[in-house]
Amino acid sequence: MLSLVRGGGETFDLEIGRHLARLGCRVSYLSGLPLFGGGRPPVMPDSFRPPPALHTVRSPYLSWIPWDRMRGGWRVWLVDRRMFERRALKWVLPRQQEYDIVHLCEMPDWVAAAKGAGLKVPVVLRLTGPEYVDLTDGLKAADGVIASGVSVEKIRASVRPDCENIPNSVDTDLFRPQPSTFRPEHGMGPDTCLILYVARFQDFKNHQMLVKAYARFAAEVPDSRLILAGEGHLKSWVQKDCVALGIADRVIFLGEVSFTDLPGLYAAADIKVISSDYESFSFATIEAMATGLPVATTDCAWAPRLIGQGLGPASGGAPHARPGLEITPGGVITPVKDPEALAKGLLLLARDPELRKKMGEWNRRKAVAEHGWAASAGKLLSLYKKLTGASSP
């Protein structure tokens, strides 16, 4: 995996690898590392036993450029990807006899190139989003294709009807309702309403819409804070928006938060917000659900399904719901790119502690029952065994 910026794909690989190791697999990672300073390879959880081997190859690290706001900017993003693919191929080919499976985070073009260059080891390709379905050569060349969420449906409908659904999951022992030191450390009392968004500052995450919604919300709930955890090339744009909206003193930019510190951050919050235009899945949603938080999300594809879209309100739900809001057992859903509607959804939750409690309890139950890593790792290991003809890890 390229992994110069940690996102959902990297989280999946780290967590699924940790649980594969528990099942007896020997796991190693090949990651990108910036050519000059800055950035770092992924940090392995302390609970990863036995520890995996970590190998790196150099890549330009151009992710700091706002490529998703530039015309043709995808070419900038592609430079990192292409250089990593070439160097990764040179690293893997002479060492392929050491491995039973090569597992990729995206990079479908790499599969076809590797097979053409003589790679004999079975390749499993994981797609984090459905936008890769047009790259049919790589999809056809892969020995196995896996995905989750909305992506599974679209990939199966294109060139890989055999795409395996390996769900994104959450460590429900790590992410759970628990005491947190975040509020006292930041000078906030128990009555301050904390709204949390954990996401990279990329265009489709739509932080700029979120801060507009929060400005409306804060006008009615002054004792509140918006917590933004994450880094990215659009962070400075959002900071400028906060100044222009007059909410800079109420929005806390935490930067990148280590994975081990995230559970305490979630546990301190009152509401988890998702302002994305699109999510093929959403780790942040299931992390919040496991922590027992209600979720206010845009209608961004998969996150609404996680909190019960279409199931109606929770028992004793919200008869005072407003037009433009869908009340679900686990939260509220508002239209994408609509700050006014999102503000109304946040206000609905902020003003009804009992409703928040019921939604959080429903979310916690669902996360524990349906989104554990052990089940996903076991399903993936079964695919590995099928492709290698193995009867044991």
Instruction: With beta carbons less than 8 A apart as the criterion, state whether 10 and 283 touch.
Output: no
Calculate ∠ Cα 207-44-66, nearest 5°. Answer: 30
Helix, strand, or coil here: 19?
helix
User: Could you count the other beta carbons within 10 Å of the beta carbon of residue 335?
Assistant: 14
How many C-alpha atoms does 257 have within 13 Å on its Cβ side? 22
Which CATH number is associated with domain 8-169+372-388?
A: 3.40.50.2000
Question: 């959403």: which residue's tokens?
Answer: 282
Give the model's pLDDT for residue 71: 74
Quick one: which of 318, 317, 323, 359 has its CA closest to 340?
Answer: 323
Give the model's pLDDT for residue 322: 65
Q: What are the CA-CA distances from residue 99 to residues 3, 93, 389 (Å)?
A: 21, 11, 14
Intervals of the chain under pLDDT 70: 4-6, 37-43, 63-64, 67-68, 73-74, 130-135, 314-322, 391-393
Give the model's pLDDT for residue 119: 97
Q: What digits encode the pLDDT tens for the residues 257-286?
A: 988 899 999 999 999 999 999 987 788 999
Helix (H) or strand (E) holding 228, with range, is strand 224-229
Give the model's pLDDT for residue 9: 79
Give the distance from CA 38 to its chain's centroid.
22
Give the model's pLDDT for residue 258: 86
What are 1's two structure tokens? 């995996």
Name the pTM for this structure. 0.79
Give the model's pLDDT for residue 80: 81
CA distance 78 to 224: 40
Give the model's pLDDT for residue 41: 66
What are 82's two structure tokens? 């292409």
CA distance 150 to 135: 18
Give the model's pLDDT for residue 392: 65
Question: 């902020």: which residue's tokens?
Answer: 350
What is the third-level CATH fold of 182-370? Rossmann fold (3.40.50)
Cα radius of gyration rounded to whole Å, the chain: 21
Q: Which residues contact 321 (CB under 8 A, 6 or more apart)?
A: 313, 327, 348
Give the model's pLDDT for residue 104: 94
Residue at 3: amino acid letter: S
Q: Where in the chain is the domain with CATH 3.40.50.2000?
A: 8-169+372-388, 182-370
Give the model's pLDDT for residue 75: 73
